[in-house]
Structure 1
Amino acid sequence: MTELLNKRAVALRYEQNAAAPRIVAKGSGYTAEAIIERAKEYQVPIAIEPELVELLVQLDLNQLIPPQLYAAVAEVLAWAYQVDGKTAEEIRAAREGKPA
């Protein structure tokens, strides 16, 4: 039970032409569990980065991540794209709105 209560989760979304990724869901305990279950349901890659999550949960919903976290979040997003089977070329093309 204590493990569940200490669990935290954050969901990010990075859209084309956005200045930075945005916090679209965050929570602890049962809310964190629900975020994780929803991600699994939709086959969204789940990264376990407790230190980064601790920083991200302090942000507001729909807030863009601050520049200080760009590098850390970029690493997680690059990993997620790789796990999802997208190449660097496909990621660049999607960001530029072009077919890969």
Structure 2
Amino acid sequence: MAIALNSRGGKAQATQVIAKGTGEVAEQILQLAFEHGVKVRSDADLATILSAVEVESEIPLEALTAVANILSYIYRAEQPSAPESSS
């Protein structure tokens, strides 16, 4: 199962499910993500929760903490590494 999320930040735009699928559709979602440099994270429990969310619907409150943790992980991963200081 693969689920794609979109978060534009701010209160006006909540995080939404923009694509989801299993099998071949999931493979296509993952392939597109990799081709476009989108960070991918595997979380079976969260995927199960989000699979019940309709495409173009906002993430339910029950899943917001998990989604926020994933987005935080992705944002940190996208930041350039700080230069190492020599002692």
Q: When the two structures are superposed, what TM-score results if normalisation uses the length of structure 1?
A: 0.74
Distance in 2, matches of 1:52 and 1:82, equals 20
Secondary structure of 1:63's match? Answer: coil
* Larger of the two Rg values belongs to structure: 2
Q: Which residue of 2 aligns with 1:21?
A: 15
* Residues 41-96 of structure 1, C-alpha deviations (whole Å, 9 max, x = no match): 0011000101100110111000000111110000001011111117xxxxxxxxxx
Structure 1 equivalent of residue 67 of structure 2: 73
Alpha carbon RMSD of aligned pairs, Å? 1.3
| Residues paired across the two proteins, number | 79
In the TM superposition, structure 1's runs of 4+ consecutive aligned residues that sit over 6 Å from their partners are none
The answer to whether residue 6 in structure 2 is matched with residue 10 in structure 1 is no
Residue type of the alignment partner of 2:60: P
Alignment of 1:40-79 (within 5 A): 40-79=34-73
Unaligned regions of 5+ residues in structure 1, if any? 1-7, 87-100
Deviation at residue 20 of structure 1 after TM alignment: 2.3
Q: By how many angstroms is 1:15 displaced?
A: 1.0
TM-score by length of 2: 0.85
Cα distance in 2, alignment partners of residues 72 and 63 from structure 1:
17
1-structure distance, mates of 2:42, 2:26: 12
Compute the displacement of 1:23 (Å).
0.3
More helix by share: 1
Task: Give the share of equivalent positions with the same residue, in percent.
Answer: 30
Q: CA deviation at 1:21?
A: 0.5
Partner Cα distance (1:76, 1:43) in 2: 16
| Paired position in structure 1 for 2:27 | 33
